[in-house]
Amino acid sequence: MSASEFFNMGGYAFFVWSSYGISSIVLAWIFISPIFNKKNIIKELRIKYRQQERQRQDSADSEQA
Amino acid sequence: MKLPAIVHKFSSPKNFYTMSGKMVPWFAWGFGLTLIFGLYYGFFVAPTDYQQGESYRIMFVHVPAAWMSMFIYMVMAVSGAVGLIWRIKTADLMASASAPIGAAFTFIALVTGSLWGKPMWGTYWVWDARLTSELILLFLYLGFIALQASIEDPRNAARAGAILAIVGVVNIPIIHYSVEWWSTLHQGATVSKMDKPSIHIDMLIPLLVMAVSFKLYYATSVLMRGRAEILLREQNSRWVKEIVANEGAAIGGGK
């Protein structure tokens, strides 16, 4: 079986390769998205915790003054 | 009914995060290896079908995806129910992390079925029982996602989602038996027939390997989603603050 025969899929190339192509894209996207999502969540929480810390300090300072 | 204390211990968010972190690489490797083996076997070992020619090779992604669409729905409904009854946060988490993956597999089953139907039946779509009930499954997933996204409070979102998921379970046997109950273009079961599957062994092996591969994909993916989401839901607890301090330094940003 030659490479061109293989990619031709007995005349069904469009249907076979679209099926595998679309499936790969969807599954890859579902797989990768939580990796970026987690990084974003950690970044956002980091900012949030700092703001909370700052507010706590401010209120502590104003109580002393 | 009370659950044993050990279930609560291992289902605590912190334990979930630690244990899933150890499991993810194993599932991911298992997925990768079975995927390579399944695709190789499906394209280079499995013989050409005497009726459908090479077009039947769509089966190796279509059928496992369709199985996963129903399997994930059941996992989602059962974890939703467990979360509802025993108030286990990680069960709620598994339900909501499953939904997008289940929706993806349902979408894949519909699209690849359509691309297989065109050359074999002469049409991309027909409103028969199997195709319509699978489309309803996609809407159930999307409805679940939209419903949870629309409710601010995570406990209420989990509760509403769980009820929707449980009610929607009625659709699962309808999908499964649709090819027997109604006349349809879709072919009947060839693998799950108990006596003897009416499928060539060299077609059955890649089909089952791909099914295992998709299960491992789901295990990997649902845990990764759960691990991201749990940080957000448990953001006020000490262990999340420690993780953010450690991993946040590695990632950088937030300056």
pLDDT tens profile B10-22: 789 999 999 999 9
- List the domain range (segments joined by +) for residue B204: 51-185+197-245
Residue A26: count of CB within 10 angstroms of its CB: 17
A56 touches chain B (CB under 8 A): no
A22 touches chain B (CB under 8 A): yes
Q: Kindly list the residues from chain A whose CB atom is less than 8 angstroms away from the CB atom of residue B217.
A: 27, 31
What is the C-alpha to C-alpha distance for residues B73 and A3, in angstroms, rounded to an integer? 39
Give backbone dihedrals phi and psi of B13, rounded to 5 degrees, phi first.
-55, -40
- In a domain? residue B43: no
Is B108 within 8 Å of A49 when comparing Cβ atoms? no
The reported pLDDT for the residue numbered B194 is 54
- In a domain? residue B21: no
- In a domain? residue B41: no
Q: Kindly list the residues from chain B whose CB atom is less than 8 angstroms away from the CB atom of residue A6.
A: 43
With a cut of 70, say whether residue B255 has pLDDT above it: no
Of B53, B232, B244, the CB nearest to A10: B53
The reported pLDDT for the residue numbered A65 is 66
Calculate the dihedral angle through the C-alpha atoms of B135, B137, B139, B143, rounding to the nearest 10 degrees. 180
Could you tell me the mean pLDDT of each successive run of 10 residues in chain A, 65 residues long? 89 96 98 96 94 90 77
**Of all helices (H) and strands (E), which one includes residue A36?**
helix A13-64
- In a domain? residue B7: no
**Of all helices (H) and strands (E), which one includes residue B104?**
helix B89-121
The reported pLDDT for the residue numbered B205 is 95
Inter-residue contact B108 to B68 (CB < 8 Å):
no
A3 touches chain B (CB under 8 A): no
For residue B117, give the nearest of B192, B184, B70, B65 by alpha carbon.
B184
- Amino acid letter, B170: V
What is the C-alpha to C-alpha distance for residues B97 and B80, in angstroms, rounded to an integer? 11
- In a domain? residue B162: yes
pLDDT tens profile B219-247: 999 999 999 999 999 999 999 999 999 88
B108 CA to centre of own chain: 11
A28 touches chain B (CB under 8 A): no
Mutation test of the interface with chain B: which of A4, A9, A19, choosing the one with the most B Cβ atoms within 10 A? A19
Question: What pTM did the predictor assign?
Answer: 0.92
Query: Could you report the predicted ipTM of this complex, rounded to two decimals?
Result: 0.90
**Of all helices (H) and strands (E), which one includes residue B253?**
none
Domain ranges in chain A are 3-64
The reported pLDDT for the residue numbered B39 is 98
pLDDT tens profile B86-133: 999 999 999 999 999 999 999 999 999 999 999 999 999 999 899 999
B111 touches chain A (CB under 8 A): yes
